[in-house]
Amino acid sequence: MNGIKVENLTKKFEDFVAVDDVSFEVKEGELVALLGPSGSGKSTILRIVAGLETQDRGHVYLTGENVTSLDPRKRKIGFVFQHYALFKHMTVEKNIAFGLEVQKKNKNLIKEKIADLIELVKLNGHEKHYPNQLSGGQRQRVALARALAPEPKVLLLDEPFGSLDSKVRKNLARWIRHLHDRIRVTSIFVTHDQNEAMEISDKIIVVNRGRIEQIGKASEVYEHPKSKFVASFVGNVNVINGRTQDSQIALNGTEGRIDKKTKDIPDNQDIVFLVRPEEVSIKRTASKPTSIPAVIEGIHYRGSFYEVDLRVGDNEIKSIIQKENYKKNPLIVGERVFILFTQFKVFEASEGHQAIHRMLKQLGYIE
Amino acid sequence: MNPELNRVELIRNRRHIGEWVTLSLVLLWFFILILIPIFGIIRETFSQGLDAVKTSLATPASLHAFWLTILLTTSAVILNTLFGTILAIVLARQNFKGKLILESLLDLPFAVSPVVAGFMLIILFGSTGWIGSWFSSMNIKIIYALPGMLIATLFVTFPFVAREILPVLREFGPEQEEAASTLGASQWQTFWRITLPTIKWGLVYGVTLTIARSIGEFGAVLVVSGSIINKTQTATLRIHDQFSDFNYAGAFSAALILIVASFLLLNFIKHIYKTKGGNTS
């Protein structure tokens, strides 16, 4: 096992359980995202792997070696902080050289290494600059070069793009993906941004309340979420209230019925089901018995697609239509239509539905 | 010269009436509180001629007093820089029970009158005091001797270094130090290469205040030293002594030396800060 392995990590801060029995593996050369909302414990997990935080229970293995009780400085890791944590009194090249200098490496080797890394992170011409003379994106690239200089066995990034504006953030995230394809160092990065996680990682570990909810490829996590939390946190989603009746689902406040799909939930039970906006298709005629009547309440142009607000009984549902499809068949606000769900997930309403609803509101996924 | 530009310049330089009032007030205040007293000291110093100054400064008692002040100041700076730095790092980077109490106690020397502090030390270290009686049995004299004076100076200057460094350490947070440790630096390397450069200017300022306070300390040292000529009399005690004996030339000349020394020191540090402090942070 040449990657990263953690077993049964648990960490309490007084009464608060920040990390609760977490185990996972990262294969050699993988770039894995630890994804979760703020306060979910993802950063604490990363800091435990780095040795910056001490766990109450559990083990950490880096490239097969048990480093559980090892000092961070002996773990041979590279760590990139959200707020860069650059040495403010040192120039760019001094920052990058630091790890090699404290390990008393040969001076010529250090010089070569700095030149290589400056080239790699494209900071030519900034060697003699101080951190406060650089932009946010440049600072984070210095932080990355500094972490890579001592040739760490694993690279750990704590919300590496968290304090950058969205455009720089996107570019840097893509650039890191390309960089990783070149240097292939086993990496974990922490993020609360699901798009970022899906875009650049080989694998996503979804964390909620200190526990792992799901581990899988981006497409698996998105298309086959194992829990309501994963479904709602990863990607936009409609949260629709309904009730099981006669082996079907009745949407609250409407005559519409849909097939239940799952046999686990008995009849006469309150349920929620989650549908992604792109899985809501709009028709002018009722094509199937499970078509649901809806009214169009709003149409928003979003560049490459249109976002359509629909009212179905007590529920508000969003649908996304690609621009070219929309142009063939434009809609009008107030029009009565029928909708079909191409894919959805049903969960019992009792399992903390209210809490999830509140969280989604806070995150701005629903109104 | 463009007359239009000249007018703009004039308008820009014209002060409001309120600004005139505040400026005059500041200058007046400065004049009464600082300039006139200094002028008075200079006048008194030389009122009996230069020879009187020379003879009173060159006495063994005066020289010993200055030497003692230098010795106490140097020791206080070294010890309080060391412990103040450690204290600030512990308070900023570690969590333990009673931390808040410890931190509020740190300000105690600011709040307690130096004379009261001196009496506290006598109660504690006097030959019949709790700790003093033990030292007494070992034939070590604390009160009315150099150790007591050093403790008194350490007490009154204790907060300066720690108080100046603490906010700097808190502002920078532990991240740079954590980064250093993940890069393989030992705690010692991290301190010298990351923490120290970060707190450098706070440290310089704390040391400056410590020096100024040590040189000027009077109350606490007076109580614990007994002001014995040629033995436990510091420069400030000497000034007080000579003033009481109506030896104004001696008192004011010594005072002038302390003023000049402190003034030069403060400006020297300001100069260094101006030329070196700005370019890295």
**Residue A78 in tokens:** 């590279």
Say yes or no for a CB contact (<8 Å) between A73 and B175: no
Say yes or no for a CB contact (<8 Å) between B175 and A85: yes
CA distance B192 to B171: 18
What pLDDT score was predicted for residue A325?
A: 86
- Angle (CA) B232-B238-B243 rounded to 5° is 145
Q: Which helix (H) or strand (E) holds B133?
A: helix B132-137
CA distance B165 to B278: 18
Taking alpha carbons only, the member of A31, A1, A357, A329 closest to residue A190 is A31
CA distance B125 to A214: 67
Say yes or no for a CB contact (<8 Å) between A89 and B186: no
First-residue to last-residue Cα distance in chain A: 46
Nearest to B183 among A89, A99, A130 (CB): A99
- The tens digit of pLDDT for each residue in B22-78 reads 999 999 999 999 999 999 999 988 888 888 888 888 899 999 999 999 999 999 999
The crossing angle, in degrees rounded to 10, of helices A92-102 and A107-120 is 130
How does DSSP classify residue A366?
Answer: -
Say yes or no for a CB contact (<8 Å) between A147 and B175: no
Say yes or no for a CB contact (<8 Å) between B185 and A86: no
**Residue A18 in tokens:** 């920040």
Measure in Å the smallest separation between the Cα of B221 and chain A Cα atoms.
40
**Residue A101 in tokens:** 């200098």
CA distance A268 to A152: 57
What pLDDT score was predicted for residue A283?
A: 87
CA distance B62 to B44: 18
Measure in Å the smallest separation between the Cα of A359 and chain B Cα atoms.
30
Mutate to test the interface with B, among A52, A67, A70, A142 (most CBs of B within 10 A): A52
How does DSSP classify residue A327?
Answer: H
Burial class (CB in 10 A: 0-12, 13-18, 19+), B105: exposed
Say yes or no for a CB contact (<8 Å) between A98 and B280: no
Q: Is the pTM of this model over 0.80?
A: no
- Collapsing DSSP states into helix, strand and coil, what is residue B63? helix
CA distance A240 to A347: 10
Which residues on B lie below 8 Å from A77 (Cβ)?
182
Residue A89 near chain B (CB below 8 Å): yes
Task: Evaluate whether A131 touches A86 at the Cβ level (below 8 Å).
Answer: yes
Nearest residue of chain A to residue B174 (CA atoms)? A85
Q: Quick one: what percent of chain B has pLDDT higher than 70? A: 93
Measure in Å the smallest separation between the Cα of B194 and chain A Cα atoms.
7
Nearest residue of chain B to residue A156 (CA atoms)? B182
ipTM over 0.85: no
Nearest residue of chain B to residue A149 (CA atoms)? B183
pLDDT tens, position by position, for chain A (367 residues)?
689 999 999 999 988 999 999 999 999 999 999 999 988 999 999 999 999 999 999 999 999 999 999 999 999 999 999 999 999 999 999 999 999 999 999 999 999 999 999 999 999 999 999 999 999 999 999 999 999 999 999 999 999 888 788 788 888 888 888 889 888 999 999 999 888 888 888 999 999 999 999 999 988 888 888 888 888 788 778 888 888 887 788 887 777 777 766 666 777 878 777 788 888 888 888 776 677 889 999 898 888 889 899 998 888 888 988 888 888 888 889 889 988 888 777 776 654 455 555 555 555 555 4
Give residues with Cβ within 8 angstroms of B44, minimum separation 6.
Answer: B248, B249, B252
CA distance A64 to A321: 48
State yes or no: pLDDT of B280 exceeds 50.
no
Nearest to A102 among B175, B189, B281 (CB): B189
CA distance A158 to A191: 7
Nearest to B183 among A88, A102, A132 (CB): A102
Say yes or no for a CB contact (<8 Å) between B180 and A98: yes
The answer to whether the Cα torsion of B109, B112, B114, B120 is positive or negative is negative
User: Tokens 């792997």 sit at which residue?
Assistant: A49
Mutate to test the interface with B, among A102, A117, A130, A156 (most CBs of B within 10 A): A102
Nearest to B280 among A51, A83, A89 (CB): A89
CA distance B50 to B56: 10
CA distance A310 to A177: 38
